[in-house]
Structure 1
Amino acid sequence: MSDSPGSFIGTVQELPVLRRIQAGLLLDGAELGEILLPARELAGAEPPAERLSVFVFEDGEGRPRATLRRPKAMPGEVARLQVAAVNRIGAFLDWGLPKDLLLPFAEQRPGAGQRLQEGHWQLVKVVRDRDGRLFASARLDRFLEDTCEAYQQGEAVTVTVVQATDLGYKVAVADRYWGLLDAAGTAPRPGRKLTAYVQRLRADRRLSLTLDAPGAAKSEGLAERILARLESEQGSLPLSDRSDPAAIRAAFGCSKNAFKQAIGKLYRERRIVIADHGIRLP
């Protein structure tokens, strides 16, 4: 379990079932005491086990509560969440739990234009205050580092798209670092999570990323995807080494050069035929 009651909140725990009451199940929350899992979570069914895996959160009165559901973003993660309501202290975001997540006005981006309203979407990071209470912040620069020495060239990383720039897409790398993604020919929406690869190690320690896997892994994986697409498209595709790079990127999420390498490999293995206006199975 967590080291302190405050850090217990916002975590997934496996808790013993103590007893059933009219309001639901009481679980053993150790330092937090008995934690209620509301009856609506079970819909009248018997507890599925003597111990339950639950997410622990605080209700509107600051009391610990349990849910069998998982939030749309765990503490520490960057995600795009929708505004469910707005009041005098801030916006409340739907993160998939009975209690919405507070995005205080002080944590909204200054100069971002129109104040958030119900139904708007916002990129935030789920963070804790000094007492362990969870809230959302749209001021990502406070929580993401500009430089990184944690990865090697070609290493795969999970990124969350933040915004388009003149040079590429600004992304949150592993929810901890800023990076710049070269995604030419695509238009990933803010909040989308992608697998990217470290393109090169820069002298300034900033991360440059690409959607293309490096070397043999790129060719092998892409070649198999091309074959699978051919089989699902009656054996032919109107794409070749002469096709527009944007069309190739839209179809396979890769560069034209990577596509050419993959179909060249398949051609040498006699697994495809390269024709004037596309490729096909033999």
Structure 2
Amino acid sequence: MDITEMYGQVLTGTVTDLNKDEAFVQIDGKTFALDLNELTEIPELGDEINGFLYENQAHKNKMTTVMPFVVQGIWDFAEVTEVRTDLGVFVNIGLDDKDIVVSLDDLPFEHSEWPKKGDSLMVKLDIDHKGRLWGKLADIELYTQIARSPGADVKNKDEEGTIIAIRESGAFVMTESYYIGFIHVEEQSQPLHIGQHVKARVIGTSHRRLNLSMRPRAYEEITPDAQMIVAVLEHSRDKKMPYTDKSDPDDIKEYFGISKGSFKRALGNLMKQKKIEQKDGYTYLK
């Protein structure tokens, strides 16, 4: 078997040599180094060991008994570790000394829609004819196969998930509950890119998917008056101020420049969102 056919495979070999850090395992005349710190006890010459084979970043043939969580035929989310506009993005699949590339051919044409470091992509291991390991990006059809169908009780619920595809009309999401969601461009609070973690609320369902919105509910919107109160509290000692909904209207007008009615509405808005609390004649920032 050619060595390029071994990369990415789980095979069994024989220990032919040892040093203080590594065991050297031979398979069909090819030698792979195995870190001894992976093993509970030092092997002996002639022992057989089963492990995953690959070429690391330093072009050294390696075996590991710690299986990567992404292999051939197994899809999982992998964290983006580096972005290269001339190549694609590198993702961590669980190998200590090697990240694999998701090719730019699998990524959106617009670089602004590419994932960023720390984002997550669902990939499986792909191996080309030269034995090189690649990350194959999941497409929308795969997500459709593994997604759940939403029930009637999801309306207005909060969901978190990962952007999996960008379209001109909006973005598709795989939620942590394994629903597919769609965020229309008018319901987005910012430009989105694949791999991005987002929070959104369910505003409806259609075609076995959730319709999502990143826009706040009406009561969650912070008015300019409420923003001013939060700013005052953030810059106050102990995050408190001697003004409440019981304060004198003239004192409120002099300090904040707004009427007591506007002040009370702003306080009510912030209390509904549990951003503030009132006690002992003070308003506190939570």
TM-score by length of 1: 0.47
Question: Highest Rg: 1 or 2?
Answer: 2
